[in-house]
Amino acid sequence: MKIYSKEKKCNFTCISFLQVPLYTYRNDGKSSSKKFLCGLFSINRDSQYHYHFLCNLLIWKTRISRTVPKQKIPPSPPYSYTNAFIMEYFCHRQQEKYLHHPLDIKNIIQKSRSIIISCSGKYLKHSHGYTKFLFPGTLYPFDSLPYDNKSADLFVLLGGIGQTPAQISVIVEAMLVDKPVLILEAGFIRSINTFCEQNSPPKYRYDVGFVLDYLTAYYDATKPSYLELMLNDKSLVINDQQINRATCCIQKIVANHLTKYNCQPIFVPDIGRKGAKKILVVDQSFGDNSIKKGLASEATFTKMLEAAIRENPGADIIIKTHPDTRTGQKKGYYDSIRPHDNIYTYTRPINPISLIQYVDKVYVVTSQLGYEALMCNKEVHVFGMPFYAGWGVTHDRLVCPRRTHKRNVEEIFYITYILYSFYVNPEKQVPCEIEEAIDTLISLREEYSRYQSSKSEYR
């Protein structure tokens, strides 16, 4: 279906639509409120009028959000569809603007004195307490209105490319004043506990590792991210000294069983039949954005499990649940599967590297655990398109035509964990290198272990 504006022709392919009120501009510059069909649109990038149509959405959205800045916008269909459209347009805009004109992220961070971030002040304080150490400037949560968005040097989307009111509000403000936007995500080695463990002291839930991108989230395979550009850049040669640094970091991470969350116990499991090969099938949090953006779906998990059984006759198939599902706040894709024959579900908390070292092969969709398995020299079969797939180190079921360069595990590590990632030292309250972040996490985990032991004794 094609939709055309009455003011100017704007050619969009409409996937789904709703009739919502929009604040529109006429050719004479005056504004008028009217009903308009809007929804989740696929933008015709050749259309010279798509920006005019977007302005209608931005002005309408800004008018709504400015009315009661501290009130949460209800997730009714008009908002969710409009948010999806604005986020999709934002990503296309970033690609058009910066794909061939890279930003120097470190330089932008150092020069920015006023930064607006897409979260509330309370959330920033209680869930992302160490984020402020990344930026020498002052962080302003989006709900600290009124602020002067024209004086802001930088806008930051916290939590990737979701469609929350906070993220959309920050996108709107940034686009209206044409300022740079960075996409901030938790890093690949990040914290002791997960956000779901609210009973844990905040310092064990705060991130010490981060990633920043200006094109899209690192897990988005539908379009190139800054990480993908670096991995695919044939002129970016990782020299012997850098390879040695990556190798040392990998060895220390594996030896100390460091991963994304570091609260799980480290031990050698005993699963299934003695002497049988062990095949690990990794579940993920249901509906996670990395799955859709990683070119996968619910059906992909079904295909992966079927392939693991078919390709490994006589082996034990171990399904590992995601740690966030243990609290009951999130679901997984294999929740309905019960152990039978040579199929085993493993829900017990365990350090991922302990489990990886126990098995012979690993099957993943987009999970980071797949790359950690590569660090442990395991054979990895990938059914989605995560950041580490398509470079020649995994057995891929999908092909990404953009990814043409070949990289080894150490090169991927150096680019991803060192060049692309950022780290902070919470004790010194300053940015730091990965080696310092590794030592910090080791120290925090030892402290957390003592904390858990003291709680047990008190009970």
> What CATH number has the domain bearing residue 352?
3.40.50
Supply the pTM of this predicted model: 0.83
The answer to whether residue 346 sits within a structural domain is yes
The answer to whether residue 391 sits within a structural domain is yes
Name the nearest CA neighbour of 172 among 96, 93, 226. 93
Provide the number of structural domains found in the chain.
2
Query: What kind and span of H or E run contains 425?
Result: strand 421-425
The answer to whether residue 337 sits within a structural domain is yes
DSSP state of 419: I
Residues 6 or more apart from 138 whose CB is under 8 A from it?
Answer: 113, 114, 115
Choose one of 92, 111, 131: the last residue of a domain.
92
* Backbone torsion region of residue 284, taken as left when φ is above 0, otherwise alpha when ψ lies between -120 and 50, otherwise beta: beta
pLDDT of residue 254: 98
Range of the domain at 49: 2-92
DSSP state of 332: B
Cis amide linkage into residue 146, ω under 30° from 0: yes
Choose one of 54, 70, 92: the last residue of a domain.
92
The residue with tokens 């991108």 is 213
Q: What is the SS3 assignment for 336?
A: coil
Q: What is the SS3 assignment for 277?
A: coil
Q: Give the C-alpha separation, 175 to 173, whole Å.
A: 6
The answer to whether residue 355 sits within a structural domain is yes
Per-residue pLDDT of the chain (459 residues; tens, 9 = 90+): 222 233 333 333 333 333 333 333 333 333 333 333 333 333 343 343 344 445 445 444 444 443 334 444 444 334 455 677 778 888 888 998 999 899 999 999 999 998 988 887 777 766 678 898 999 998 888 776 545 667 889 999 998 888 787 888 888 888 888 889 999 999 999 999 876 676 778 889 889 999 999 999 999 999 999 999 999 999 999 999 999 999 999 999 999 999 999 999 999 999 999 999 999 999 999 988 899 999 999 999 999 999 999 999 999 999 998 877 766 677 899 988 889 899 999 999 999 999 999 999 999 999 999 999 999 999 999 999 999 999 999 999 999 999 999 999 999 999 999 999 999 999 999 999 999 999 999 999 999 999 888 876 555
Q: Beta-strand (E) ranges in 66-153?
A: 114-117, 138-141
The answer to whether residue 253 sits within a structural domain is yes
The answer to whether residue 166 sits within a structural domain is no
The answer to whether residue 27 sits within a structural domain is yes
Choose one of 54, 77, 92: the last residue of a domain.
92
The answer to whether residue 146 sits within a structural domain is no
pLDDT of residue 66: 39
